[in-house]
Structure 1
Amino acid sequence: MERYIVLRKPLGTGQSLKRSASAGSPGLATLAVERVTRHALLDLSRDPEVLAVTPPMATALIRPAQGTCAQPLTGDAWGIASVSADRSPYTGKGVTIAVLDTGIDKSHLAFAGMDILEQDFTGEGNGDLDGHGTHCAGTIFGRDVNGRRIGVARGVSRALIGKVIGQNDGDSQMIFEGLQWALQQRANIISMSLGFDFPGEVESKVKNGWPVDLATSQALEAYRGNLRLLDALMNLFKAQSAFNSAPLVIAAAGNESRRSVNSQFKIAASLPAAAEGVISVGAVAASSHLYEVAEFSNSFPRVSAPGVDIISAWPGGALKCLNGTSMACPHVAGVAALWWQHLQEKNAPNRSSAVASYLTAHARSDCFKSGFDASDFGHGLVTSPL
C-alpha cells in the first residue's frame, strides 16, 4: 500500500455530516493521509466526497544566496523605503500573519513582546534550526534591532509560525496541513518561501532504482496531483471570503532562472506560487534610481519586491544579509498587512480579495530599467498604502 493525501469536502455538506466531528471542523475541508492500494485509490478518486487525492511530493526551501552587504550592518533595511513602508501611516495592527517555513527563533529581539503561536509539522520540534524562517518573519513584522528597522509591518502583534520544512526538507503533506492549520487559526495572510521539489522527486526515485524516464513520469504525476489538490484547497479558502475569514496566500516565485549577460534562461514561477489564487512574488535589486529584476528570479510573477541584499533577523540575535525570492515574498506579505489594516478600518468586505486587488493595482511598473517587462516583474513593485 502507498501513502496518499486525501482532501474531502467540508463537514456539514452532503454525506459529510455522517462522518465523525473529530475528523475536522464544520465548514472546513478535511485533510487526511491514508495508505491505500491501487484498487482503493480508484474508488477514492470516484468518491463524490473527495475533492482531490495525490501522493505526497518532496518540498524544499527556495534556497537563498548569501548577500554582499558590508559589515558592520548599519541603517534601515533598504526594502522598507522601496515599498514605501517608511511613509505609510499603517503598521499592520490587528492583522494576523502566518509564516510557513523552517520555524522561528522567537527569542530574537525582533519579535519581543509578540504573541507567537508555533506548530511543528516536521517532527523536529519548534524552533528554527535553519534560520530561513526567522529571516522571513523578520522582514514581515520584525521590530527594530538596535535602532535599525527590518520589518515592513511592525504593528503586527500576533503571528502563526508553521514549521513545514525541516533539516531534511519536507513534503507536500506538511504544507497542506500547515495551510489548513493557518486557516483554522484565522490567519489573515499566509507567507510561504518554499517550493515543490520536482528535481528532488525524480532524484529520489532514481536512487531507489527507477529508470530516469519512468522516475520523471512518476514525478510529473505527483506534481500534477499536488497542483490539483492545492487548487482545490485554494478554492475552499476563497469560499470563506464572504465571512472575511479567507486568508490571502503569498509565495515566492522561485530562484531557478539564470538571467546573466550571456544567457537568458528564464523559468516560470513554480508551485506553490503558480497555483490558482496565490500571489506569486519575484525579486528585484536596486540600481541607481531604477530597479532591475534579480538574475535568479523566476518569470511571470504576479508582483515583485526587494530580494537582493536583504537584512533581517537571524537565530541567536544576529542580523544577516540574503538574496532570493524568499526575501521578496515577506516584503509583499508585510505590505499586504498594511493594506489589510487599511481595509479593516473601513470595515470593507472580502478583504483577502480586496487586498490582492490593491497589491496589483498600486504596484509600480514605471520604475524598472529598460529591457524588463511584465513577464519579468508582473504588475510591478508593490507599494504600501499612504
Structure 2
Amino acid sequence: MHLPRSPRRRSAAWAAAAITAAAVLIGPAPAFAQSDTTTRSTAEVDPSVLDTVGKGKDSTFFVVLKKQADLSAAKGGRTHAAKAKSAFAALRAKAKSSQQPLQSFLDKEKVGYQSFWIANALKVTGDERLVEDLAKRADVASIVKEHHYALDATESRVSDAAGDSDPVTPEWGVKDIKADQVWDQYDDRGEGIVIANVDSGVQYDHPALKANYRGNNGDGSFTHDYNWYDPTGQCPTSAPCDNNGHGTHTMGTMVGAGGVGVAPGAKWIAAKGCESSSCSDSSLLAAGQWILAPTDHTGQNPRPDLAPDIVNNSWGGGDTTFYQDIVEAWNAAGIFEAFASGNDGDGVTCSTGHAPGSQAPAYGVGAYDVDGKIADFSGFGPSRLDGSMKPNISAPGVNVRSTWPGNTYKAISGTSMATPHVAGAVALLWSSAPSLIGNIDATRALLNEGARNVGDTHCGGTADANNVWGEGKLDIFASVDKAPHTAAVVTGKVTDKATGSALSGVTVKASGSDSNRTVTTSADGSYRLTLPAGTYDFALGGYGYADGARSGVAVTTGEQVTEDFTLTAVASHAVSGTVLDVTGKPLAKATVQVAGTPVAAVTTDSAGRFNLPKVAEGSYTLTATPAAPVLCNGTYNGKLTVDGDETLTARVPARSDSTGNSCTPAAYSWIAGSGKVALSGDEDARTIALPFPVKLYGVSYSSASVTTNGLINFMEPRLGDYENVALPSADKPNGTVAAFWDDLTLDKKSSVQTSTTGTAGSRKFAVVWNNAAFAEGSSGRVSFEAVFDEATGAVSLQYQSVPGSGASATVGIENQSGTDALQYSFDEPVLKDHSAIRIAQGTK
C-alpha cells in the first residue's frame, strides 16, 4: 500500500473524461442487511456503499462470493503443519475456481481488482451501475464497504520512562497469571513454539526481543523473509519496523525477555496489519493470509509449513462479521488466535464488546487490574452479533509494562494488553504439552478449566462463566497442571569439539513422524525440547561449524533425556569475483553478501569486482544487490559452496514485478508516426482503437486512452493526471503504460501519432509523442514512444530526445488495481537520447 499522493500542483478541479471503475488493493467482507433499493439483488449490499454510489461517487468495496472452501480435511490433520498446508490448499483452490467468472466479467468491464483466497473475495472500486450489476450476480453473496479498525489500547493512562535495562523480576501480569510458576516448576518458557501478532509492527532488535525473533540467525545476521510481512508499505526497508509502538508492546508481553514476557522462550514473527494507529481491511486481510501461509517480503512463494502456532490480535471495532472467515481458517489450520474484547465498556453496560473478539468463533479477552477488578473500559457481552458469551476469558490489562520502540519500556492499558497474556500462556501450555499443538478446542477447554472464577452475573451467565469475566481470570499454571503430560523432555548442550566452548545460536531441530520442533541454543549452549513419545532425528546447524546430526533418538512418555552435541569448526576461505549487470557489463556499487551469515557485506568497485576475505566452509546463497538507480537490474541470488578459495561471476537477472513482467535495455529502433491522434493543449485524452489485441497484466484490450501527459490508460480516459507518482499506487490512474509520465503540453510544434508496421501476427504498433513541451516551462522538448509487439506481447519504450533525462517523469507499467508495477524510474535523470527499454510480459 502507498501513501496518498501529494496535493495537486494546480488548483483546477479535474474530472475523469469517462468513468467506469478502477480498483485498489485487496479484500473480503461480511454480510450486511439488505437495502430496500436492492430488492432485485441476489446479494446483500452494504447501505454505506449504496449511499456513496447513489450520490454519483465511486465507492471502494469488497465483493464476497458465495462459495466457500471445505476445511473439514484441514481440521482432521494430524499435525499443525499438515492442518495449515491442507487449509491453504483448500482455500486457494476454491478461490481460484470460483473467482474466475467474476474476474472475467470485471476484465471485460475494465475494472481493476485484487483477490483474496482466505475469504474468497475481491476488492473493487466502482460506481452505481457496477454495484447493481455485481449485486445481481448469482455467485455474489455480499458487497461490503472497506472499513478501518482502531488499535485497541488506552495508551494515555500510564506511561513511564524506563531505561534500556531489562526489569529483573516478572511484571505483575506475568505473576498474576502464574506464568513464573510454570517457568519454575515445569522448566517451561515456551520453547519450540512460534507466536505471531497482527499489529503495528515490532522493533525487531529491541534488547528484550532480538534473541527470539525467528529471523535472527544467531550469528548477528537476520533473515526477514517468512518471518516478517508489511502489506501496508509503511516500513522503509524489508526489515520489521513499528511506527506506533503498540505492536512492540504486545509482542513484549508475549515473549519479551527479563520478566516482561509470558513465554520468553518462544520464537516470534509478525505481520504489520495496521498502518499506524488504525488498521484497514486491506492490510488486515493481507496479514491474515500471511499468517496462514508466510511468504517472502514481496508476498510471493507462500509456505504454510512455516505458519506460526499462535497469533495475537489486539485490534477491533464495530459489530461486523468481518474477519470471521479468517478466524475460522486459522482455527482449521491449528493456529490458536486471541482477540481483544475492546475498550468501549464503562464497567456497567452490557454488550459493549466489539468484533472480531465478539464473534462466536474468536477467543475474546477482557482486562482487569492489579487489584483484581475488571477494567472499567473492558468490553462486556453478550455479543451483539450472535448472542454468544463474551469475553471468553480475562487477563491483566491495566498498567501493563512492556517493550517499546527505542529500546525502552512503557506501561499502558487496554484489552490490547490483556490479550497477549493469553497468547503467551498458550505458548507455555503447548510447549509443556505438545500433544495439544493445533488442537484448538482442547486448548480452549484447558484455559477455561484453569481460569479462576469471578461471579459477576449482571450481564448474564453464572459464577463459572459470565459476560463480564468470561470463564474468569487466566491461570496458566492451573491449565498446565491439568494438561496431558505425555511429553518427554530432551535437554542438552552444544559445544565446540576442539575447545569445549559453549555454542550459542545453534539451531537444533528434532524431526519425527508426527512432530517437528525447533529451538536455538542459549548463551551457555544449552537447549530444551518437549517432544511427544516417538523416535526423532536431530539436525544441528550454525555458521562456522559442520552440521551435526543424530538419528533414531527414541523418547518415551515422561522421560527425561539428555542429548549433548559437539560440532567441529570448519576452515574459512576467500570468495571473490565480478558482478555483471543485466547486459553483461561490470556493475559498480553493488552490495554483495552471503545471506544468513555474519560475513560483512562488501561493495563492488568500478570494474564490478568484490572480495570476501573469510567465508566459512559450507553451502550458502550469495546475493548481489544493485545500487540505486537499479533500472532493469534485478538482485542476483546464486548457490555458493565454499570448500576452498572461490572465484565466481554473478550476472544479475532482469528486474521483474510480482506478476513476472521484466525489463531489459534494448536496441533503439525508432518508429516514425503516420496517423495523427487528435490531442492538443495542456490536458487532453483520446481513446484509440488498437490494430491487434494488447495484453496488460494478463488482460486483453482492443482500445486504450492516450493522454498529453505521456500515459496510455487501458482502463478509462482521464484528464488531470499531470502529477506523476511512484508506481505502484492505489490512486488512479491504474492499468497504465507510463511511457514518460510528466506534466506535458502539446502546442503547434507538438503532436501525438500512431503507426503500425509489419504483417498480421508480427505487427508492431507505436504511439508516438513528438516534441512535447513541459507545462511548467522547462526548456527543451521531449520525443518518445511506446511500441507494442504483436508476436511477443512485449512493450518497448523508446526515447529520441529527453532533455533533463527524465528527472521529473515516471516510466514503467502498472496493473489494473494499483498493487503491482514494474517501475523503471521515478523522478530520476536516467533516460538517454536514442535509448530503449523492453518490457516482457510475465506468465503469472
Identify whether the pair has TM-score above 0.5, normalized to the shorter chain. Answer: yes
Q: 1:233 to 1:50 in 2, by over 3 A?
A: farther
Secondary structure, aligned partner of 2:60: strand
Q: 1:267 to 1:256 in 2, by over 3 A?
A: farther
1:236 has 2:317 as partner: no
Q: How far is 1:141 from its partner?
A: 0.8
Q: 1:7 to 1:308 in 2, by over 3 A?
A: same
1:115 has 2:203 as partner: no
Q: 1:279 to 1:47 in 2, by over 3 A?
A: farther
C-alpha distance in 1 between matches for 2:401 and 2:411? 4
Q: How far is 1:349 from its partner?
A: 7.2
Structure 2 residue corresponding to 1:320, chosen from 401, 404, 410: 410
Q: 1:371 to 1:278 in 2, by over 3 A?
A: closer
C-alpha distance in 2 between matches for 1:7 and 1:169? 23
Q: 1:95 to 1:310 in 2, by over 3 A?
A: same
Q: 1:85 to 1:318 in 2, by over 3 A?
A: same
Q: How far is 1:39 from its partner?
A: 4.3
**Structure with the greater alpha carbon radius of gyration:** 2
Q: Is the 8 A contact 2:244 2:277 kept in 1?
A: no
C-alpha distance in 2 between matches for 1:57 and 1:359? 32
> 2:354 maps to what in 1?
270
Q: How far is 1:356 from its partner?
A: 2.1
C-alpha distance in 2 between matches for 1:69 and 1:40? 50
Q: Is the 8 A contact 2:160 2:409 kept in 1?
A: no
Q: 1:336 to 1:46 in 2, by over 3 A?
A: farther
Residue identity in the other structure for 1:167:
S
Deviations 1:168-200 (A, max 9, x none): 62322221221111111312222111123x5xx
> 1:212 maps to what in 2?
none
> 1:96 maps to what in 2?
194
Structure 1 residue corresponding to 2:379, chosen from 266, 282, 298: 298
> 1:187 maps to what in 2?
308
Q: How far is 1:381 from its partner?
A: 1.1
Deviations 1:219-254 (A, max 9, x none): xxxx64xx2x4223333344x3xxxx3322211111
C-alpha distance in 2 between matches for 1:98 and 1:49? 34
Q: 1:230 to 1:167 in 2, by over 3 A?
A: closer
Q: Is the 8 A contact 2:161 2:408 kept in 1?
A: no
Residue identity in the other structure for 1:297:
S
Q: How far is 1:78 from its partner?
A: 0.7
> 1:213 maps to what in 2?
none
Higher RCO (CA-CA < 8 Å; seq separation 6+): 1
Q: 1:150 to 1:33 in 2, by over 3 A?
A: same
Deviations 1:52-100 (A, max 9, x none): 5421112111132345578766632011111111111232222222211
C-alpha distance in 2 between matches for 1:236 and 1:56? 21
C-alpha distance in 2 between matches for 1:6 and 1:341? 40
> 1:209 maps to what in 2?
none
1:5 has 2:62 as partner: yes
> 1:211 maps to what in 2?
none
Deviations 1:318-369 (A, max 9, x none): 111111111001001111222233442x2x4751232222222221115x79
Q: How far is 1:150 from its partner?
A: 0.6
C-alpha distance in 1 between matches for 2:121 and 2:229? 17
Unpaired runs of 5+ residues, structure 1, are 199-222
Structure 1 residue corresponding to 2:423, chosen from 298, 320, 333: 333
C-alpha distance in 2 between matches for 1:257 and 1:18? 40
Q: Is the 8 A contact 1:102 1:131 kept in 2?
A: yes
1:137 has 2:230 as partner: no
* RMSD over aligned Cα atoms: 3.1
Q: Is the 8 A contact 1:96 1:188 kept in 2?
A: yes
C-alpha distance in 2 between matches for 1:141 and 1:294? 24
1:375 has 2:463 as partner: no
Matches within 5 A, 1:58-97: 58-68=148-158, 75-88=169-182, 89=186, 90-97=188-195
Secondary structure, aligned partner of 2:361: coil
Q: 1:17 to 1:309 in 2, by over 3 A?
A: closer
Q: Structure 1 stretch 168-177 or stretch 181-190: which is displaced more?
A: 168-177
C-alpha distance in 1 between matches for 2:153 and 2:246? 8
1:175 has 2:318 as partner: no
Q: Structure 1 stretch 131-140 or stretch 5-14: which is displaced more?
A: 5-14
C-alpha distance in 1 between matches for 2:132 and 2:265? 49
TM-score (norm 1): 0.77
Residue identity in the other structure for 1:180:
Q
Q: How far is 1:131 from its partner?
A: 0.8
Q: 1:32 to 1:151 in 2, by over 3 A?
A: same
> 1:256 maps to what in 2?
344
Q: Is the 8 A contact 1:122 1:170 kept in 2?
A: no
Secondary structure, aligned partner of 1:292: coil
Secondary structure, aligned partner of 1:353: helix
Q: Is the 8 A contact 2:154 2:413 kept in 1?
A: yes
C-alpha distance in 2 between matches for 1:62 and 1:325? 7
Q: 1:237 to 1:115 in 2, by over 3 A?
A: closer
| Higher-strand-fraction structure | 2
1:162 has 2:250 as partner: no
Q: 1:132 to 1:350 in 2, by over 3 A?
A: closer
1:57 has 2:114 as partner: no
TM-score (norm 2): 0.37
Unpaired runs of 5+ residues, structure 2, are 1-57, 69-90, 104-113, 216-226, 295-306, 382-390, 482-844
